[in-house]
Structures are given as C-alpha cells and as structure tokens.
A and B are shown apart, each in its own frame.
Chain A
Amino acid sequence: MTKEAVLARYPPAPEVLLALLHELQGMNPGQYLLPEDLELAARHLGLPLSRVRDAVTFYSMFSLRPRGRHVVRLCASPHCHVAGAWSALDELRRVLGVEVGETTADGLFTLELTSCLGACGVAPVMMIDDEVVGNLTPAKVAAAVARYREGR
C-alpha cells in the first residue's frame, strides 16, 4: 500500500495523529519516520509541521533515525533491575555487539531500553518486536536473539 492510500483511510482530524504516525513508521524498512512522513501527516491533518514534530519527539516509540529490522527492548524498570536485568543487558551488548540505542551493522537489530513492560511476574523481561521474552538469563537472551537471526 502506498502512503497516499494509507492517508486516505484517516479522517483529516488532528486526533488521529499518533495512529497515523505509528502506521507510517511501520511502513518504512528502518521502522522510523522520514522527514517527508511528518510533512505528509501535517498536510493531511491540516496541522503545522512544528506540531507534528512536537508529538514525534515527545513519544519514545517514534524514531527519527533508522532502526534495525527487529527492535529489542529490555525493561530497565526498578523491578527488572532488582531481578538481574543488568546481566541480560551485558549479554545483549555482547551478542549484538552494540550499545543501547545503536543498530547492528547488518541492520537486523536495534537495542533499546524501555520502561515497565508489565510482565513483572517473569522479570527480567525484554520484548523483541511484539514478542515478550521473560525470566531472562544470559543463555535465554542469546537463544532468543539467535532465533530472530535465523528468521524465527
């Protein structure tokens, strides 16, 4: 589907901005928003570009930089921290070879930290795209990353 076709499904009302941005971001290979996406959204909704940028930079799930095909989000909330998220983070850094906020050279993974994922019963927890992986140990981290490397 083209971006114009996506736009056509949204009424020109400012309230749909976040949903529209989510969808536009998901259409780009790097899961990020291009400058022209912001312009498209602004024009379609009749908003100043500054207002769109304002929202994009406020919410942590929107990115203005390209990200990997899979986004790995490790929960850095106090509870996962107590449960040992730091050793999971060390392992993620090791198997991915990147620091937090960076993307692997092959463009496959971006490593991010997130606030609580609401799965504290199986802390420490991370999400790879929409999948929740819990009770993390270094071995589980490595296995989950390997699974995505092989295309699940």
Chain B
Amino acid sequence: MRRIQVLVCSGTACQSSGGERVKKALLEATAARDLLPEVQFVETGCMGPCELGPVVLVYPEGTFYVRVRPEDAAEIVEEHFLKGRPLKRLLWAGAAPQPQEIPFFARQKKVVLANCGVIDPERIEEYIALGGYEALGRALTGMTPAEVIAQVQRSGLRGRGGAGFPTGKKWELVRAGGPPPRFVVCNADEGDPGAFMDRAILEGDPHAVLEGMAIAAYAVGAAQGFVYVRAEYPLAIRRLEVALAQARKLGLLGPRIFDTDFSFDVEIRIGAGAFVCGEETALIASIEGRRGEPRPRPPYPATCGLWGRPTLINNVETFANVRHILLGGPEAFASLGTEKSKGTKVFALAGNVRNTGLVEVPMGITLRELVFDIGGGVPEGREFKAVQIGGPSGGCLPASLLDVPVDYDSLTQHGAIMGSGGLIVLDSSTCMVNMARFFLEFTADESCGKCVPCRVGTQMMLGILDRIVKGEGSPEDLLRLEEIGAMMKAASLCGLGQTAPNPVLSTLRYFRDEYEAHIARRSCPAGVCPNLVRYVVVPEACRSCDACRRACPTGAAQGEPRKGPYRIVDELCIRCGACFDACPFGAVRKLPREEAR
C-alpha cells in the first residue's frame, strides 16, 4: 500500500467543474517531485457536495479539499504530500479537515452510497474487496429463491423510484406471475427535475446495481435483465458498460454463475429523450422499440410486462439496496428508518441552500435536519420559504411543516411525495405561483398525449396559471385549478398525469395568499412575475450613471447624469427589466406591485 491515497471525484458534476484537469495537474505535480511511487490516485464516483467541486479526498488522514483548481496542484504536492501540512485554504469554509467532522457528512448514514466516492467504479476488484458480489454468492449457494424474497420482505424495503411499493411483495408477484421466461428491468430513466441520485449511483457504484439485479433475477427466476438508462447520461452508460464487461469476464454475470445452474445477463437499453418513459408501462414499450406511451394497468408488468411476460421493474436505488439486506440481514436493514419506511433514502439537495449535492439519510429524519443541519440552511440574508419534494409529481411544504418526518406516508399525508428524492429548497425570493406554473409547463410539455385528462388537463391548468402570473386571473380560477387537478388525479392513465397537479394543489394549500395577491391586488409578493412588479431606484445606491435611462425603451427611467438619484415612473414602465439588468450598482430593485383592482 502506498503512503498516500488521493481520491478525485469523477462524477458528472465534478467533471463539469474541471475534475479531470485537476487530477492531471496533481499527477504531473506529483511526478515532478518524484513522488509517484508513494502516491496512489483513484477516480471515484460522487462524494456528495457537488457545488464545491472539484473535490479531492486525501488519505490516510482524510483531508477533504473543495473547489480545487489545477493551479493548486503544485502547492498541494509541496505542502501536503511532501511536508505533511494540509492546505488550509482549500478546506471547506474553515471547517474541520476530515469529512466525518463536517456537519454535511456527520449527519448522513451511507448505505447505498457507501462505495460512492470511495472506490474506483471502473475497477471491479475494488468493489469485490469491499464485499461486492458476496451477497449474490450467498444467495446462489445457500438460499432458495423463496428465502431471498422472504428476506427482502422482512427488511421492509420499498421502491425508491417514487411510489414506494414493497419490493419483496413485488418480487413475489413476479415469481408467481406466470411461467418463464421472466425478465428483470432496472429503471434508470431518471428524469425528475432536481433528482440525480440514480445517475450518481450508476456512475459511482455500478456493480451494486448489477448485483442487486442478479439477486432479484435469481429470486424471481429470470435469465435476462435490462437497464433502461437515459441517453442524457453518457458517463453512466459508459461506466455500466465497463462494469458489465468486467462482471462477465469474472463469471459474475453470464452462464452458470458461481458454478450453479443460475444464468443471468444484462443488456443496456438507451432512451431517446422522453420523460414519460420512467413510467413502467411506457418504459416497457420503449425497450420493445416503440413509442414510449403508457397503457392502462392492470395487467401489471408482474404478470404482463416485456413481450407479455412476467417482468420485475425496480429503480436503480432499490436494486443498490438489495445486497445490504442479504449481507447484514433484514433486521439490521430494518433497524434504520420508521415503522413503515425502512432503511435510508438518498436525496438530491438543491436550490437556495448552502450545501447542495447528494446526501443519504435514515428515513424519518425531519425536513429541518435535512435542510438546516445537513444542507446548512439558506444563504445569508435570505429567508427559508418552502421545500419542494418529489419534483413535478411532488409538492411544496412550508416552514410550518419543517418538523415533518421524511418518510413515504408522512409526506403523502401533507400533499408532497417522496418521489425519487429530489429536494429543492426555496427562499423568500421565490414566487410560489411562478414555481408551480413552471413545473406544470414541464409536465404539459412531457405529457405523451395518449389520455385526455393529462393532455388537456395540463394545458388548461397551464393556461389559467399563465393568466394569473400576468395579472389577468379571476377569483374563480383557483376553484377551477382545484377542480381540474382533482379530475386529473382521478382519471389520468399513468403516474405522470395523476401527479402532475401536485405542485399546483400543494402550493394552493399552503400558499393560497400568494395566488390571491396575484389575482386580487395584481401583485407578486416575491417580486418575480414580470407584469406584477414595480421597479424602483434605491436613492442611496444610485450613482446617477445614466445606464438605466439609456436602457429604458419607454422613457420611464428618468434623471440626469451626476445630478442626484434617478427615478422610474411607474405609469410609463412596461416592466421589461432593462433598467434592472443595466444598473451596474444594483440600485434598481423589483418590488411587489401594489394595485387594487
């Protein structure tokens, strides 16, 4: 073992901020000081705090460097590798050098992500060294399929893709769903805006997913599996391909695995840009090479899936949980979480929060712990307003519900859903009506158009919201929104349409006053909706530079250079925002418009 291990995150986020160039610079700097024999470089999957990338973790002491630039390499090598003095200026905002002492990491419980950011995802040996494929071996050589299913059932694992169906129960249904051939499908068509845990797992620990699939295949009696992954995830696809080839080479996939009668192999199927393909029946259609349109259920895929055969469809994170159940036993797995939601859940923290990135926590943790203890709260000078959970299928929960435990049933009860785990923190600068409109625009765009409630309902709701944000709404509009939303939930063909109204309905429930302000006072309280704000010049900040007057197309911005603060005449203003963009001093502010009907 070499004296120093350098783990460089090579997840998509860190790559986008220059991770590869950092690694190259570190390598070169290490070589320049003749330290290559002493330093081992490992490219790992996602370590979590994406916004601080590229991140580098140096062992044995575990120093966590953030926002490393290639120019820092020489200094890191000189000071740290050579002289043993970690570079203070690259530590996380004066935090403790070691990850386990940083609150962002300290409150997490990594099970699914245990290998992410630790091993090189392109080397199966590292996965195996940490117990990889041991669970598959135990299942194949020492357990019957029924025993495997019983263990998964006892663990209480529920589907991590959104709906939370009990995983063991699903496996049992597939096994009993009809004679072979049966199929196992991994749903890696992650598309919920704000969710990126499946991508991180595929990029950081692809073998965990393949092992979970193989165990599931043994349990349900399948010989062929498919991973359906989005074309937007080229790195995840590449790592999966590498993992598949390595697993086949070692006989961990393919014919007669572990010298048993069990044979199983996996093919990758790549999507082509359609959000609805994350719905299981649409996904099946897409794997079969057709338009990805859902169909009515029942029959469920458990009895009538791919090519009409019994098919098990689980999400990436669900499969990645499986090996831990067999290794540690179902009781240990179930010791984490709440009564009805066992284990951990990976969340993607994003939005107006200090620490964005990927976090894994025990089920039942409160939103407050997630947003404030782990996420570090909203940035200074802002105020927490709401958290949007579950993407376009989920809802917004206000500050008064921060102490709600995060589990399937509590979230549903309050009008949000666990969903795939996207969690967007919103601060006081967010307009909830605008936010809801934006999510609806997304689902309206992604609606496949097959069933009327979703195709027409999303358009009708969007039309109403468009009027409201322009200041042309009427009080009846809110009732119409609720009426159409309820109809869509009841009558849409698939989950996309059934959940599409949630962002609107939940904001109507908790932020109705904002909708009413848009309608009754034609005012956007957050100062976001362009038609419903007024622009004012803050006199103290104005340097009378004339930029706003020159930018203004209607002569509403008035004043003379260097002769005192400018002003904006509201009656002439068309709210184009040109002055706001033009002001180099931030003296033009957007305020809610106050206008009585």
Chain A residues within 8 Å of B, Cβ to Cβ: 13-19, 21-22, 45, 51, 54-55, 58-62, 77-83, 114-123, 125, 127, 130-135
Contacts and interface: CB of A to CB of B under 8 A. Distances in A.
A119 B291 contact: no
A122 B566 CA distance: 37
Contact of B350 (A62, A79, A117, A135): A79
B424 A122 contact: no
B191 A61 contact: no
A77 B194 contact: yes
B495 interface: no
A21 B349 CA distance: 36
A116 B445 CA distance: 13
A118 B196 contact: yes
Contacts of B117: none
B270 A120 contact: no
Given A14-B288, A130-B234, A122 B435 contact: no
Given A77-B194, A79-B422, A120-B348, 13 more contacts: A16-B289, A18-B270, A51-B290, A58-B274, A61-B272, A78-B194, A78-B388, A79-B194, A82-B430, A115-B273, A121-B13, A121-B53, A134-B13
A116 B15 contact: no
B16 A132 contact: yes
B550 to A, nearest CB: 18
A78 B53 contact: no
B92 interface: no
A13 to B, nearest CB: 8
Interface stretch (B33-41, B325-333, B351-359): B351-359
Given A16-B289, A22-B272, A121 B442 contact: no
Given A22-B270, A82-B426, A118 B233 contact: yes
B288 A116 contact: no
Contact of A18 (B16, B233, B269, B426): B269
Interface in B257-291: 269-275, 286-291
Contact of A59 (B274, B422, B435): B274
Contacts of A13: 289
Contact of B273 (A60, A121, A132): A60
Contacts of A115: 191, 193, 273, 275, 442, 445-446
A132 to B, nearest CB: 4
B17 interface: yes
A118 to B, nearest CB: 4
A78 B16 contact: no
A73 to B, nearest CB: 8
Interface in B392-435: 392, 422, 424, 426, 430, 435
A55 B269 CA distance: 15
A1 to B, nearest CB: 19
B50 A116 contact: no
B59 interface: no
B511 interface: no
A119 B272 contact: no
Contacts of A122: 13, 16-17, 50-51, 53
Contacts of A131: 16
17 contacts: A18-B286, A22-B272, A45-B289, A58-B292, A59-B292, A62-B272, A79-B350, A79-B422, A119-B16, A119-B196, A120-B193, A120-B194, A121-B49, A121-B196, A121-B349, A132-B12, A132-B15
B190 interface: yes
B15 A55 contact: no
A21 B193 contact: no
Given A15-B288, A82-B424, A118-B190, A123 B350 contact: yes
Nearest to B293: A58
Contacts of B388: 78
A78 B17 contact: no
Contacts of A130: 234
A82 B351 contact: yes
B288 to A, nearest CB: 5
A118 B287 contact: no
A18 B269 CA distance: 9
A132 B292 CA distance: 26
Given A17-B289, A18-B289, A81 B13 contact: no
B199 interface: yes
A51 B199 CA distance: 31
Interface string B214-256: 0000000000000000111110000000000000000000000
Nearest to B355: A121
Contacts of B442: 77-78, 115
A25 B49 CA distance: 36
- From B272, B290, B438, residue with most partner A Cβ within 10 Å: B272
A22 B291 CA distance: 15
A117 B392 CA distance: 15
Nearest to B357: A121
Contacts of A82: 351-352, 424, 426, 430, 435
B196 A15 contact: no
B192 interface: yes
B50 A121 contact: yes
Contacts of A60: 272-274
B104 interface: no
Contact of A14 (B53, B234, B289, B356): B289
A22 B234 CA distance: 13
B195 interface: yes
A55 B292 CA distance: 8
Given A16-B289, A19-B269, A121 B194 contact: no
A92 B263 CA distance: 51
A51 B289 CA distance: 10
* A-B pairs, 3 with minimum CB distance: A121-B50, A77-B193, A59-B272
A79 B351 contact: yes
B416 to A, nearest CB: 15
Given A118-B190, A118-B195, A120-B194, A78 B435 contact: yes
A47 to B, nearest CB: 8
Given A79-B351, A134-B13, A61 B439 contact: no
A106 to B, nearest CB: 25
A5 to B, nearest CB: 21
B286 A118 contact: no
